[in-house]
Amino acid sequence: MHSKRASRLLAAVLGLFLAASPGAKRAATGPGRAPAASLSGLPAVLKASVAGFTGPGALREINREFHDLATRTSRSLLVKAPVTDSQLLALLGTHPGLRDLTLGACAFLTPAGIRKAFDQNPSLQAIDATLCPGFTLDVARALGATHPGLTRLSARGDVVSEEVLARFGDRLTHLEVRGPFRGERLPDSLRVLAVTDSPTFTGEQLPPGLEQLRVSECQGFTGRLAQPALRALTITRCPRVTSDLLAAIGRTHPGLAALTTDVPIRVEALAVFADRMSSLALWNGLALEKAAFQEFTNLGHLVIHNCDVFTGANLPASLHTLEVDGCRWFRSEHLASSRVHQLRVNLCPHFTGLGLGAHLTDVSIRSCPGCTPGHLGILLGHLPGLQTLAYRDWGQGEVDPALFASHPRLQTVTIRRERKGPETAWRRPAAPLDGRDPP
């Protein structure tokens, strides 16, 4: 009895808080995730209170309170809370036009409950149930017949069988699989395929119309591809793929414009992609003898990790986003004439933050001992268009918040001292409605 009373009291407190919070109106009127799926909007004291009332009665009361604030016009929903069958049914009942559904680690859901919830939402077009143990082979089989509009599916490898794929016919355009999966007899309609942690996946029987392929932790993946329409490729933690193999893929796939890989690629292999690459992410640059990216005339997005020869010099004029991690000789002054708008720098000891290009609007600097808090004032003075700044260091000095208020366009600043506890945030106050300065 006392537990039930406490549960109701807690639910009432949550209701009052959410109704009064600035986000309550947005949750009730605008698109977004249903409040029943997350407690992220609660202050720390209420999160701790919720954690203390984890009994079934309290969980029902809390979920019922969030359920009342669910967005009824939302087209997508992420379910992260450990809901039961009845709670999922009620939650999906408030979203008659639901298109995209993601089921998290829902340990309490049964296959029968999931099927019943799906049946009341025939308009579903995308389902992600990779982490949901209740999403079984029987549930997947039924979806092929009951949801003619379903074109995107994410599930475990033991669920995505040839029989299940045959039930969908040529409707599936996006498929994501985690776990053992052979990848045979895939539908010709498939345009996007992602496979993770599958030792049996070789990638040698893919549909010819495939446009995007992401492969990770697949020991059997050979890299022998023959998909002329391929535009984007991600290969990570696949030991059979080499630098020469990447070069061969580049030569046989002239439309490939986006590459992400942790394969130690060499300069001659990288040069194969120079004339058409728009997005390039190299997570292992140790094999590069030089970094000659000026030849990549269409490159807009570059990520480079662990490359001692990358200094930041001679970048193409087309580049607008740059992420650098663990590059010993990367220097900020080499970006003085670049047109980069977004910059992320981490663990680059010779990066000082001085001399950066004036086009930058979003900068993140983390654990770069050459960029001290004393450099931030100079940095801000040379970046008139900067709007967002994130800075993390090892406690080398204090930062005066008044420094940020004097900047003409800066909106958000996040500072974290790696050895001194939580981060400090600064946000520019909203301007008064009458245009006058606040007192």
* Residues 188-206: tens digit of each pLDDT: 999 999 999 999 999 888 9
183 confidence band (pLDDT: 50, 70, 90): confident
120 confidence band (pLDDT: 50, 70, 90): confident
Q: Across 73-134, where does the E strand assignment appear? A: 76-79, 100-103, 126-128
Give the single-character DSSP code of 271: G
Helix (H) or strand (E) holding 195: strand 192-196
Statement: residue 292 has pLDDT above 80 = no
Per the structure block, which two tokens stand in for 88?
């999922």
Task: Give per-residue pLDDT as tens, 137-150.
Answer: 999 999 888 898 99
**What does the buried/exposed string (b/e) look like for 118-127 if buried means 16 or more CB atoms within 10 Å of the residue's CB?**
beebeebbbb
Higher pLDDT, 372 or 230: 230
Report percent pLDDT > 90 for the chain: 39
Q: Are 287 and 261 in contact (CB under 8 A)?
A: no
Q: Are 11 and 67 in contact (CB under 8 A)?
A: no
* pLDDT attached to residue 71: 35
The span from the CA of 128 to the CA of 135, in Å, is: 10
pTM as predicted: 0.76
* pLDDT attached to residue 74: 59
Helix (H) or strand (E) holding 344: strand 342-346
Residue with tokens 């979003």: 362
Q: Return phi, psi of residue 162, to 5°.
A: -60, -35
Per the structure block, which two tokens stand in for 145?
């017949």
Task: Give per-residue pLDDT as tens, 299-356.
Answer: 999 999 999 889 998 899 999 999 999 999 999 988 888 889 999 999 999 998 888 8
Q: What is the average pLDDT score of the chain?
A: 78
Q: Tell me the H-state helices in 158-315.
A: 162-168, 243-252, 267-270
Q: Which of 15-19, 55-59, 201-205, 412-416 has maximum average pLDDT?
A: 201-205
Residue with tokens 């039924």: 142
* pLDDT attached to residue 362: 94
Q: Are 133 and 155 in contact (CB under 8 A)?
A: no
The SS3 assignment for 303 reads: strand
Task: Give per-residue pLDDT as tens, 266-284.
Answer: 989 999 999 899 999 999 9
Count CA within 13 A, CB hemisphere, residue 321: 8
Statement: residue 406 has pLDDT above 70 = yes
* pLDDT attached to residue 373: 79
Closest CA to 353 of 322, 381, 331: 331
In one-letter notation, the amino acid at residue 367 is S
